[in-house]
Amino acid sequence: MRTGLAVSAVFHLVLIGWGLISLSAFEPLDASDFEALPIEFVEIDEESSTPLGIRDAEVAEDPAPNDPTDQVAEIAQPAPEPPAEDPVKPTPPPPPPSPDPEPVPDQADPNQALQDAEPLPDPTEADAAPELDPAAEETPKPENVLDAPKEVAVATPLPRVRPPHQAPPSEARERSDDIAALLDTTKPSSAPAESDRQAAIGAVTGSPFKQLSVSEIDALRAKLAACWDIPPTRVDPAELRVKVKVFLSQGGTLLRTPEVVEYKPTQIGQVAAESALRAVQRCAPFNLPVEKYDSWKEIIMTFDPREMFGG
Amino acid sequence: MPIDGVTEAVLVSPAGDISLVSLFLQAHIVVKLVIIGLILASVWCWAIIVDKSILYSRARRQMDRFEKVFWSGQSLEELYRSLSGRTPSGMASIFVAAMREWKRSFEAGARSPIGLQTRIEKVIDVTIVRETARLERRLLFLATVGSAGPFVGLFGTVWGIMSSFQAISASKNTSLAVVAPGIAEALLATALGLLAAIPAVIAYNKLSNDAGRIGERLEGFADEFSAILSRQVDERA
C-alpha cells in the first residue's frame, strides 16, 4: 500500500504542477470592441394596419394629381424657374428685351421634355413671346413684368406652368395633349380609395380602412352564440350552418331586416335559418368600434354550431 | 496618464486572476474544503489502483508458478514442507491450510473419513474467503468515490455559484469580468469531482473483474485439490 500511495501522490503532484503551469496563463479571448447592434422592439398588432400606399406618393403634394397637364408640368418645371430667379438678381429694371429671350427657352424646354425631335420654326417662337406677355397679366411696364414672375415663383406650380401651354399655337398644344393622354393611360391605377388624406409610401396590399380585430370578432361570435337557440335536432351540425348578412347603423342597431345568404335547403336548414335571424334580432344593438364602421356596416355572420360551441 | 493606468488595471486584472492557485485562494471555505477533499480522495483512489494492480499481477504470477509446481508431479509432502516455512498466499495458502488439516487429522489418529473430508473443505472455504477479502479490500472506496465524487463536486459548484451570485448582487455589477471568476472557481469543484470519479469508476470495474477472476481460479484449484485429498482419504480408509 505504501508504494501505491507514493506513486499516487507523485502522480497528483505532477498533475497539479502541470495544471499550474499550463492553465495559469489563459489567453484572453479576442473580444475586441464590436459595434453594438441597435435593437428596436416593434409591437405586433393583431391586424396589419398599414395604410394603402400609392405609387406616386410625392405627387400627392399637388392639389390636383389627376390633372393631366400637371403631369406635363412636372416635367416642364425646370423651365419657368430661370425667369423667376433672374428678376430677383438685377434690381435695375431691365428693358422689355429681357423677358423676350426668356420665354424662348421656356418654349423650348417643354418641347425637349416632351422629346420632340422636330425643331420648332422661328415664327412660333416669335409668336409665343408676345403672347406670353399678356398671359403674365398683360403689363408692358418692366416693373410689373418683374413682379409677375415673382408671384409666379411664390404661387403653386399650376398657374406658373399653364401659360406656356396655353400660349403656344396649335401644334405644341396638340402634342402636349397627346402626351397628356398617354400619361393618363399609364397613370397607376391604385389611387386612394375613399379619402383625400395623405397617403404614405406604404404597402400596396394595405387595407384602406381598419378591419375588425380577431378579439372583436370573437366577442361578436360569443354574443351571437348566447342569443342563438339551436333547433334541437340530432342531425349533422353541418346542416345547421347559416350565413346571415346584417346591415348595421353606426350605433350598432339593425338598419333593416337581415338577409339569409346561405343555408342548407332542407327542413332543418330552414328552421336553422329562421333561428339565426331571430338570434340577430334579439342581439340587436351590437357594440362595435365606431372607427371601424366601414368594415362592419354590412357584415356577414356565420352561424355554425361547430365553430360557435366548439362541438 | 492616470486614466489609462486605471483602465489598464481594470482590463488586465480579471484575466490574470483565473489561474488555478488564485481561483482556489479566492474560493469560499466550503468550496475549498470540497476541493481539498476531492484531491485527497483522488490521491487515495490512485494509491488503491496502483496497489491493487501490483497485487493482482503478483497474485496471478504466484498462481501460475504454483500451478506449474503443483502439477509437475512433485510429491505433495515435499511441496508442503517447502511452503510451510514462509507465509503463503493465494493457492499456496489454500494448499498449506488443507495439508495442515490433513496431517493433523492423521497424526491425531482420526478414523472417520467423512469427518476429515468435511473439515478439509471447511478449512479450504475459510481460506478462500480470507484470500478474496484480501484481494477485494479497499475496492469499495473506489466505487464510493466513483459514484459520490461528481455529486460532491457539484455541491461545491452550486455553493460557489450561490456565493458568487451573492457577491454579484452586492457589487451591483453584472459585467462578465465580475461574474466569470466566481463561476470558474465554482466549476473547478465539478471538474475535480469528475477528475476523481472517472478513473475511480473505470478502475473499480476493471479491478473487481480481475478480483472475481482470481477468486474463480482459487475456487477451481480448491475444488480440484479437495477432490485429490478426498481420493487419498478413501484410499487410506
Print the SS3 string covering A93-160.
CCCCCCCCCCHHHHHHHHHHHCCCCCCCCHHHHHHHHHHHHHHCCCCCCHHHHHHHHHHHHHCCHHHH
pLDDT of residue B167: 82
Candidate from B20, B50, B51 with C-beta closest to A23: B20
**Considering only alpha carbons, which residue of chain A is nearest residue B24?**
A20
pLDDT band at B36 (very low <50, low <70, confident <90, very high): very high
pLDDT in tens, A250-284: 888 888 888 888 887 888 888 888 888 888 888 87
Candidate from A4, A20, A23 with C-beta closest to B48: A4
Q: Is the pLDDT of residue A104 over 60?
A: no
* Count of domains forming chain B: 1
Residue B104 lies in a domain: yes
- Which chain A residues in 179-198 lie under 8 Å from chain B, judged by CB atoms? none
Residue pair A83/A102 in contact by the 8 Å Cβ criterion: yes
Candidate from A8, A20, A28 with C-beta closest to B47: A8
Strand pairing partners for A299? A246
SS3 label, residue A303: strand
- Which chain A residues in 21-60 lie under 8 Å from chain B, judged by CB atoms? 23-26, 28
- The CATH-assigned architecture of domain A214-308 is 2-Layer Sandwich (3.30)
What is d(CA A220, CA A158) in angstroms, rounded to the nearest whole number?
51
**Considering only alpha carbons, which residue of chain A is nearest residue B12?**
A28
* Mean pLDDT on A92-115: 47
* Mean pLDDT on B182-206: 91
- Residue-number span of the structural domain to which B200 is assigned: 28-236
Residue B114 lies in a domain: yes
pLDDT in tens, A3-22: 889 999 999 999 888 888 87
Q: Is the pLDDT of residue A216 over 60?
A: yes
* Mean pLDDT on B149-172: 89
pLDDT band at A27 (very low <50, low <70, confident <90, very high): low
CB atoms within 10 A of CB B156: 29
Q: Which amino acid is at A193?
A: A
Query: What are the cell numbers at B120?
Result: 478439509
Please state, in angstroms and as integers, the Cα–Cα distance from residue A195 to each residue in A87, A248, A252, A274, following that order. Answer: 41, 22, 23, 39
Strand pairing partners for A244? A260, A301
pLDDT band at A177 (very low <50, low <70, confident <90, very high): low
* Mean pLDDT on B159-170: 86
Query: What are the cell numbers at A173?
Result: 398644344
Residue B177 lies in a domain: yes
- With 0-12 / 13-18 / 19 or more C-beta atoms within 10 angstroms meaning exposed / middle / buried, residue B100 is middle
What is d(CA A99, CA B107) in angstroms, rounded to the nearest whole number?
157
pLDDT band at B133 (very low <50, low <70, confident <90, very high): very high
Higher pLDDT, B4 or B115: B115
A16-30, A48-62, B77-91: range with lowest mean pLDDT: A48-62
Please state, in angstroms and as integers, the Cα–Cα distance from residue A293 to each residue in A2, A199, A286, following that order. Answer: 95, 20, 12
Domain assignments of chain A as residue spans, ordered by start = 58-186, 214-308
Return all residues near B92 (Cβ < 8 A) that are at least 6 apart.
B62, B66, B83
CB atoms within 10 A of CB A276: 27
Query: ipTM score of the complex?
Result: 0.73
A54-58, A115-119, B99-103, B113-117: range with lowest mean pLDDT: A115-119
List of chain A residues whose C-beta atoms are within 8 Å of the C-beta of residue B43: 5, 8-9, 12
CB atoms within 10 A of CB A189: 7
* Mean pLDDT on B206-221: 93
SS3 label, residue A28: coil
What is d(CA A279, CA A229) in angstroms, rounded to the nearest whole number?
7
Residue pair B142/B205 in contact by the 8 Å Cβ criterion: no
pLDDT band at A224 (very low <50, low <70, confident <90, very high): confident
**Considering only alpha carbons, which residue of chain A is nearest residue B51?**
A4
A25-34, A252-261, B164-173: range with lowest mean pLDDT: A25-34
**Considering only alpha carbons, which residue of chain A is nearest residue B39?**
A12
What is d(CA B35, CA B157) in angstroms, rounded to the nearest whole number?
10
Q: Which amino acid is at B103?
A: K
Q: Which amino acid is at A198?
A: Q
Residue B11 lies in a domain: no
Residue B21 lies in a domain: no
Residue B63 lies in a domain: yes
A135-144, A203-212, B116-125, B210-219: range with lowest mean pLDDT: A135-144
What is d(CA B92, CA B215) in angstroms, rounded to the nearest whole number?
14
Q: What is the mean pLDDT of chain A?
A: 63
Which of B85, B117, B78, B82 has its CA nearest to residue B101? B117
Q: How far is A19 from chain B (nearest CA, A)?
A: 8
Alpha helix (H) residue ranges in chain A:
2-24, 68-76, 81-85, 103-113, 122-135, 142-154, 157-166, 170-186, 214-227, 267-282, 293-296, 305-308
Strand pairing partners for A254? A248
pTM exceeds 0.95: no
pLDDT of residue A306: 76
B41-45, B71-75, B190-194, B217-221: range with lowest mean pLDDT: B71-75
The residue whose grid cell reads 480448491 is B222
Higher pLDDT, B222 or A143: B222
Higher pLDDT, A306 or A196: A306
pLDDT of residue A103: 45
The residue whose grid cell reads 338598419 is A255
CB atoms A8 and B15 under 8 Å: no
